[in-house]
Amino acid sequence: MSDSRWTIGVKEAGLRLDKFLADADRLVSRSRAVAAIERGKVFVNDDEASAADAARRLSIGDRIRVWMDRPGSSRRRPAPHRTGELDIVYEDDDLIAVNKPPGLLAVPLERKAAAESVFDQIDRHLRSHRARRPFTVHRIDRDTSGVVVFAKHSAAQAVLKQQFLRHEPERVYQAIVYGHPTPPSGAWRDTLVWDQRSLIQKGTHPRDPRGKEAISEYRVVERYGNTSLIEVRLVTGKRNQIRIQARLRGHTLVGEQRYVFGPAELRPIDFGRQALHAARLTVSHPVTRQALTFEAPLPGDMVELIEALRRSG
């Protein structure tokens, strides 16, 4: 089987991609299916499948292609792994994506020069392999966990930064908030202004010349007693955007210390940080232009919080 194609019908709809490929009439085993995905031999609707797509649920009409003889696909593609201090989601000659733990800066700050950052850890990682220093592309808050991407050379940095400036990457976060957003899915639209003195975002009038439009799409994933797990996709990408937009609607993030709403009695849950996680990021590779999706599972503290909320609610 050098180049095979299938279209998903009613019987196959809902199957995971790896299970579909592991059928006896296709790749025979799940290990062969996963290896084909990791080596870039599998396409869904003409897009190359990533390792994260192995768990993708197929829909009627999806087009699956397995190109076993694809040039350059004999080598295993970069897979998530841990090395020293870093939880590496993806790495090649042009970029590196890591799963940042909470409590660690993404990049060094002048006002906190002694604080450790992911940038510092990647710098040590690259230097240990006699590579060049990393180049910052974007960042997430210190107490937010999840996916962050760095470039390995200035040309890759320039291409990736332009993507973020044009709001092209898909950036999906998970958060635990007080209350139940209504309706259960929709869009948040605000005009925000950055307060340089207080170092926070503030809502402002749409006609404010300093204001910048902020748009997020949200959906409620799970409801508990007086809290909800939500998924938020950034359409724009302003600093602290999810935290301030949730607060403006009375849905302060659990653990939030800066963007709060109402008296402290309304926020009774003891959690050491804002419950916010950068779960998924999709960018175009700066050299090949291939779509790359990076995913990071919920960290342990948020998993434990969700389990406690389920038990109590």
In the prediction, which pLDDT does 166 show?
A: 95
Query: What domains lie within the chain, and their CATH numbers?
Result: 3-67 (3.10.290.10), 172-277+306-312 (3.30.2350.10)
Q: Kindly list the distances between the CA atom of residue 127 and the CA atoms of 120, 123, 124, 159, 262, in Å, as whole numbers in the listed order.
A: 11, 6, 5, 23, 48
What's the whole-number mean pLDDT along residues 24-35? 86
Residue 1 scores a pLDDT above 60? no
In the prediction, which pLDDT does 54 show?
A: 87
What's the whole-number mean pLDDT along residues 194-210? 89
Choose, from 18, 53, 62, 141, the residue flagged as catalytic: 141
What confidence tens digit (pLDDT) does each residue in 241-281 have?
999 999 999 999 999 999 987 788 889 999 999 999 999 99
- In sequence order, what are the residues at sequence separation of 6 or more whose Cβ sits closer than 8 angstroms to the Cβ of residue 12? 6, 20, 58
Report residue 134 as tokens.
């990393």
What residues pair up with 66 in beta bridges, in sequence order? Answer: 4, 42
What confidence tens digit (pLDDT) does each residue in 150-178 have?
999 999 999 999 999 999 999 999 999 99
CA–CA distance, 163 with 157 (Å, rounded to integer): 10
92 annotated active-site: no
